[in-house]
Chain A
């Protein structure tokens, strides 16, 4: 872990910049308030005030930590005011979409690798599908699906799926094609059937590519779930917290939701990383 010192330095620098910006951005409001109440503020008072406002332009890090502690640890998990509850709502949609996207992505990749027609006709659309800003039409999908009678988890999961299948298709196509001509010929000399070639050579060879794609897909899936929550009228979920926070100017609430989302993303991606390491180790592929 020789990177720890530089990383800590960078994080420390970020914190310093953050406190300085919080002071700079919140200063005006504090001064206005003081002027209105006809009192002057000394510099230490001013600094303390900018770091402890109720609705600051930029909350100081410790305010966010306090808010996180209040909403994560001090509230019951089932309470609607608990951030854990909202994180779970988002995470369940994320995981459902991620699962669907993984299945769709892998099946498409198998089709593309084994069928020349699919390779030629479907692959370009897989790529084109990602230049469509799906997040932009997320509200429409949610509203339309609601109109048809599908609501709750599934619409969000569908958006997550759309975002997460793409990296998996691309990664798996690359991975399933990664065995060399020589290795494929070797399988043929062993009289391997198509299914055996797939199960014993192509699939194992694609694992490193699959895991790299899964990490990207998980991050994309979370973004999809969060954006999918925006148009539902801020009912539940991290996206709803963001929207509600922005309606009522609750910056601390927005930032705590953001940090929660970051933690969820880090945990999910980290979990895939652990599975990756264990799997590749068993396969003898780790470096």
Chain B
């Protein structure tokens, strides 16, 4: 049996860095480096076995194995090299911090995600959808707004955060406003594109059914636009969280994830910062996953969703 090239490459890198650590850091450094690489190689081997042998359902575990491997490597490295908690706390310390500060995390979650991000997300996406229908109705508007919208979607929109904080005050309303502006254009561009996704043949068929504009819109063009709309909703979901958190850097009441992150960095309380990051990451993934799940339910007919079990 020959070893897979990935394992060989990892082992070679491991030996090299261990030797380097032995020279620069001494015995303990070398031991830690060797241990880190041993964990990495074990994790990779486990994944190779999982993907090759079991396949199917077990393949879903492969990313979890990789994640676990990275966490263990992180823990060993931080403790072994004696990295200060001010620079990078080990995963167990972060977990302990999460356990002891649930109330703070929850307060920040409500302030930033539920009040700021979600309300802005809803307003922005609905406004963009309505605008898209209007824009689609009038070709002149479409030809004029779409290039402008595409342009704005590529701009660093986050830069208007300080202005909106100035206009709407420090509380969650200004964060929601930033989110509205951030999600509006990607959503608009996708929705307009989607509303044009029907073929002339299909539209002609609706016309032979004597369908008016509205029934054509509701029964043919909106459903046909759903894959594009969901694409926009997914892009907007990550933007919404980023917008709400970054807007808090420009001023906020004394709660909120962005506020906590920026003040805790100043206090060198990095375990709390990482706790907030974990919450943000889980929230972001859950938000994205939820939209992907709804998409799967609603656009089961689309080629990209078929044949994926």
Contacts and interface: CB of A to CB of B under 8 A. Distances in A.
Interface of A: 2-3, 5-11, 14, 25, 57, 115-118, 120-125, 128, 130-133, 135-137, 139-140, 143-144, 147-148, 215, 219, 222-223, 226-227, 230-231, 238, 242-243, 245-246, 249, 251, 254-255, 257-258, 261-262, 265-266, 269
Given A6-B144, A133-B245, 6 more contacts: A10-B145, A116-B52, A121-B51, A140-B273, A231-B249, A266-B155
Contacts of A269: 154
A237 B87 CA distance: 26
A133 B162 contact: no
Interface in B17-49: 44, 47-48
Contact of A261 (B50, B67, B155, B251): B155
Instruction: Tell which of A14, A116, A120, A265 has the most Cβ of chain B within 10 Å.
Output: A120
Nearest to A222: B156
Given A10-B145, A133-B241, A137-B261, A227 B158 contact: yes
Given A116-B51, A255-B163, A269-B154, A140 B265 contact: yes
B143 A262 contact: no
Nearest to A59: B163
B88 interface: yes
A255 B4 CA distance: 55
Interface of B: 4, 6, 44, 47-48, 50-52, 59, 62-63, 65-67, 86-88, 140-145, 147-148, 151, 154-156, 158-160, 162-163, 165-167, 238, 241-242, 245-246, 249-251, 257-258, 261-262, 265, 270, 273, 276-277, 280-281, 284-285, 287-288
Contacts of A266: 151, 154-155
Contacts of B165: 246
Contacts of B281: 128, 131-133
A140 B285 CA distance: 21
Contact of B140 (A6, A123, A137, A148): A6
A167 B230 CA distance: 18
State the majority secondary structure of interface residues on A: helix
Contacts of A11: 148
A137 B248 CA distance: 12
Given A122-B66, A125-B63, A139-B261, A133 B242 contact: yes
Contacts of A9: 140, 144
B156 A136 contact: no
Contacts of A262: 155-156
A89 B180 CA distance: 29
Contacts of A245: 162
A115 B51 CA distance: 11
27 contacts: A9-B144, A10-B141, A10-B145, A117-B47, A120-B63, A121-B62, A121-B65, A125-B63, A125-B67, A128-B63, A128-B281, A132-B281, A132-B284, A133-B241, A133-B245, A135-B158, A136-B277, A140-B277, A226-B156, A226-B159, A227-B246, A231-B249, A231-B265, A251-B166, A254-B159, A254-B163, A266-B154
Given A10-B145, A215-B154, A57 B242 contact: no
A261 B156 contact: yes
Nearest to B257: A136
A124 B63 contact: yes
Nearest to A230: B249
Contacts of B67: 125
Given A10-B144, A223-B156, A265-B156, A131 B261 contact: no
Given A133-B238, A136-B242, A147-B87, A226 B59 contact: no
Nearest to A269: B154
B166 A249 contact: yes
A121 B63 contact: yes
B28 to A, nearest CB: 20
Contacts of A251: 163, 166
Contact of B158 (A128, A130, A147, A226): A226
B51 to A, nearest CB: 5
A137 B280 CA distance: 10
A249 B159 CA distance: 15
A128 B159 contact: no
Given A131-B238, A133-B238, A148 B262 contact: no
A5 B139 CA distance: 12
Contacts of B261: 136-137, 139-140
A122 B51 CA distance: 12
A131 B242 contact: no
Contacts of B154: 215, 219, 265-266, 269
A257 B47 contact: no
B286 to A, nearest CB: 9
B159 A131 contact: no
Nearest to B282: A131
A151 B222 CA distance: 50
Nearest to A6: B144
Contacts of A227: 158, 246
Contact of B280 (A25, A133, A223, A249): A133
Nearest to A249: B166
Contacts of A120: 47, 50-51, 59, 62-63
Contacts of B142: 6
Nearest to B58: A120
Instruction: Tell which of A5, A14, A128 has the most Cβ of chain B within 10 Å.
Output: A128
